[in-house]
Amino acid sequence: MNLKAYLSETIDIALVSLGFPKKLITVERPKNPDFGDYSCNIALTIAKEAKQKPIQLAEKIKKVLILNEDWVSQVSVTPPGFINFTATDNLYQSFVYDIISQKINYGKTELGKGISANVEFVSANPTGPLNVGHGRQAVLGDTIANILEWHGYDVKREYYYNDAGRQMRILSESVAARYFMEIGKITEFPEDGYRGEYIRDIAKNIIENHGNDLEKDDSIFLNVAEETIFQDIKNTLSFLDIHHDTFINEKSFYESGAIEKILEDLSSENLIYEKDNATWFKATSVGNEQDRVFIKSSGEPTYRLPDTAYHRNKFERKFDWIIDIFGADHVDTFPDVLAALKALNYDINKVKVCIHQFVTLIKDGEKVKMSTRRGDFVTLKDLTDQLNKDVVRYFFIMRSMNSHLNFDLDLAKDQSEKNPVFYLQYAYARICNTIRYAEKSKAIFNNKFDSSLLCHPSEIDLIKTLSQFSEMMKNVLDTLEPQNISTYLQTLATKYHKFYTDCRIVSSDHQLTNSRLNLILAVKFVLSSGLRILGISSPERM
C-alpha cells in the first residue's frame, strides 16, 4: 500500500471537484512529526492563480477530500496552508506482514528489468598498488552496482586499464632499472620512474626466475610487472569483496582497429585537424572549452582517443546505461570523450558520470601526508591489513561522494561503540540473540500474529522507519548517492535500540511476544538487506 500515491490521487480528485485545473501534486514527509506522516503544499502553490488565501483554500480542499478511514486517521490544516495527513496505526502495522512475507526481498523493485548497465570503476593502471582513493572508488562503484541489481538491472562491473601508453613504458623501464641496479650493472634510477619498494621486489623476482642476463628492452620486465601488480590489485579488491566481471584493456582497441575508426569517423564530421605536428579534436565546435590533442606529435595517442574508443565500445555492446566512476582528478577528461561520442551520434544521456572527491587519511588527529614520489604513500592494502572489510567499506560509503572524505584511522580501528559500523551490526546481532533466546525459551513464534498489538510509540516509530526503506532505495537509485543507505540504516538501528530498551520482547504475554518477535524479524530482514547492499556483513553474534 503506497499511501503517498493514494493521497496524491485523492487530492487530485478533490481539486477537480472544486473546478481547479490539473496540477502536479507533491506529497512529502514533514520533518516535524507533529504535522503527521504526510503533508501537501498544493494550497500554497495554487493560491495565487486561485486568488484565495492558502489557508482557506486548504480548508476547502480538506472538506471535499474523501479518504479511507482505514488508512488515514486524521487530516489537518496548518499555517501557512499545508494539509497534513496522519496514517492509522493499522496501516503501519500492516507493513510488518508485508515484510515478513517478502523477507529479504522486501523493497526490491523490477524497475531495471530487462535493462543492462555497465559500471566502470577503479580502472587503475597496473603501475603500482591501489591507493586509498581507489578504495573509495572501488566501494562506491561496487555499491552502486549493488543498488542497480537490487532494482533488477542486469549489471556488469567493469575494469578498464591502459596498457599501451607512456605509463606502462615507464613501468617497464623502472623494473629494468631496478633489475640492473640489483645485479650491479647501473647505479642511476630514471628521474620519472616508479620508486616504490614493489618495483624492487618484482626485479628481484625476475632475477630469480629469469636469470641476470636479460636485455634492457626485454618484454619480460613489463609482462612480469603487469601480472604481479594486477594480481596484487585483485587481491586487495577481493579482500573488500569486490570482483569485476570484465577487464578491458586499451591494447585491444588498437588491435581491433577501433582507434582508427574513431579518427576516421570524426574526420568525416570535420572534427579532426592537424596542427603543430599533432592531431586535434575540434571539441570547441561541439561546445567544449578548448580543442584537445588526440595524437601527440610523437605519434602516441593521448588517453582521450582510446577512452573514446572504449566508450563507443560500451555503446556497441548495447548497454542501456553506462556508469563511470571517476576521481576528482578526472573531472576534465570525460567532457571531451562525451563530446566526441555525441558527434558520432551516440545518445550520451545513457552515460552517467559519478565523480568522487579525494580521501585524506587522519591519524592521531592529523592529516597523513602522502607522496608517491617518495614512495611513502599509504596504500589501500595498508588499510585493509589493519582493518576489517566491513569497517573499510562503511567508512568509504558513509559520506557523500561530492565531499572530501576524511578517513579517521583511529576511529576506524576502534573496536568500541564509537565505531558507527558496530552500531548497525550490534542491532543485527541483538536481534539474532533475542530470536535464539525465544527459541530456547519455547516462545510461540509463527506468522499468525496480531500486528495491532504493536502500538507502543517506540514500536510505531520503528515500523514507520521500516516502511520508509523502499522509498529510500528508490531514491538511491535515482540519485546514485549510496550514503543515504548508511544514513537510513543508522536511523533504523537507533529506532531498534530504542524499541529494545523500551519494550520487553520475550515475555509471559504469548500473543504480544509473537507479534514482537515478528517485528524484530522484519527489522532483521531490512537491516540485512541494507547491509548486504553496502557489502557489509551481518554478524549473528558480537
Q: CA 97, CA 193: separation in Å to the nearest integer?
A: 63
Among 4, 25, 41, 381, binds RNA (CB under 7 A): 41
Please, which residues bridge with residue 280 across strands?
Answer: 273, 293
Shortest CB 185 distance to RNA, Å: 28
Nearer to RNA, 147 or 398 (CB): 398
Instruction: Please provide the DSSP assignment of 194-241 as one string.
Output: ---HHHHHHHHHHHHHH-S---TT-HHHHHHHHHHHHHHHHHHHHHTT
Nearer to RNA, 79 or 114 (CB): 79
Q: CA 118, CA 121: separation in Å to the nearest integer?
A: 10
β 38-40/82-87 pair status:
antiparallel
Closest C-alpha to 296, from 281, 279, 311: 279
- Residues of span 192-231 touching RNA by CB under 7 A: none
- Residues of span 17-36 touching RNA by CB under 7 A: 28, 30-32, 34-35
Strand ranges (DSSP E) for 398-451?
405-408
- Residues of span 435-474 touching RNA by CB under 7 A: 437-438
Nearer to RNA, 105 or 502 (CB): 502
Shortest CB 45 distance to RNA, Å: 5
- Residues of span 85-124 touching RNA by CB under 7 A: none
Shortest CB 213 distance to RNA, Å: 31
- Residues of span 510-539 touching RNA by CB under 7 A: none
Nearer to RNA, 123 or 228 (CB): 123
Shortest CB 455 distance to RNA, Å: 17
Spatial contact of 194 and 174, defined as CB atoms under 8 Å apart:
yes
Closest C-alpha to 145, from 354, 340, 344: 354
Nearer to RNA, 206 or 314 (CB): 314
Spatial contact of 179 and 220, defined as CB atoms under 8 Å apart:
no
- How many residues lie near RNA (CB under 7 A)? 88
Shortest CB 476 distance to RNA, Å: 10
Among 355, 370, 455, 460, binds RNA (CB under 7 A): 355
Closest C-alpha to 286, from 348, 331, 351: 348
Nearer to RNA, 214 or 362 (CB): 362
Q: Produce one character per residue of 157-195: b if its CB has 16 or more CB atoms within 10 Å, e if not.
A: bbbbbbbbbebbeebbbbbbbbbbeeeeeeeeeeeebbb
45 sits near RNA (criterion: CB under 7 A): yes
Grid cell locating 28: 512529502
Shortest CB 299 distance to RNA, Å: 9
Contact flags string 315-334 toward RNA, x per CB under 7 A: -------------xxxxxx-
Helix (H/G/I), strand (E/B), else coil: 358: coil
- Residues of span 257-316 touching RNA by CB under 7 A: 275-278, 289, 293, 296-298, 300, 302-303
- Residues of span 139-178 touching RNA by CB under 7 A: 162, 165-167
Q: Work out the angle at residue 520's Cα, subtended by the Cα atoms of residues 519 and 522, and round it to the nearest 5 degrees.
A: 65
Shortest CB 235 distance to RNA, Å: 21
- Residues of span 410-429 touching RNA by CB under 7 A: 415-420, 422-423, 426, 429
Q: CB pairs under 8 A, 24+ apart, for 11-16?
A: 11/40, 11/42, 11/61, 11/65, 11/83, 13/66, 14/61, 14/64, 14/65, 14/66, 15/42, 15/46, 15/61
Helix (H/G/I), strand (E/B), else coil: 36: coil
Q: CA 477, CA 44: separation in Å to the nearest integer?
A: 30
Nearer to RNA, 41 or 73 (CB): 41
Nearer to RNA, 260 or 300 (CB): 300
Shortest CB 207 distance to RNA, Å: 28
Among 8, 61, 71, 84, binds RNA (CB under 7 A): 84
CB count in 10 Å sphere of residue 67 = 17
Spatial contact of 123 and 160, defined as CB atoms under 8 Å apart:
yes
Shortest CB 275 distance to RNA, Å: 7
Stretch of residues binding RNA (CB under 7 A), selected from 93-101, 207-215, 479-487, 526-534: 479-487
Among 137, 236, 434, 515, binds RNA (CB under 7 A): 434
Q: CA 79, CA 344: separation in Å to the nearest integer?
A: 54
Among 249, 430, 449, 518, binds RNA (CB under 7 A): 430
Among 23, 103, 216, 504, binds RNA (CB under 7 A): 504
Shortest CB 73 distance to RNA, Å: 16
- Residues of span 385-404 touching RNA by CB under 7 A: 398-400, 402-404
Q: Work out the angle at residue 195's Cα, subtended by the Cα atoms of residues 189 and 196, and round it to the nearest 5 degrees.
A: 145
Spatial contact of 409 and 362, defined as CB atoms under 8 Å apart:
yes
CB count in 10 Å sphere of residue 403 = 11
Nearer to RNA, 296 or 464 (CB): 296
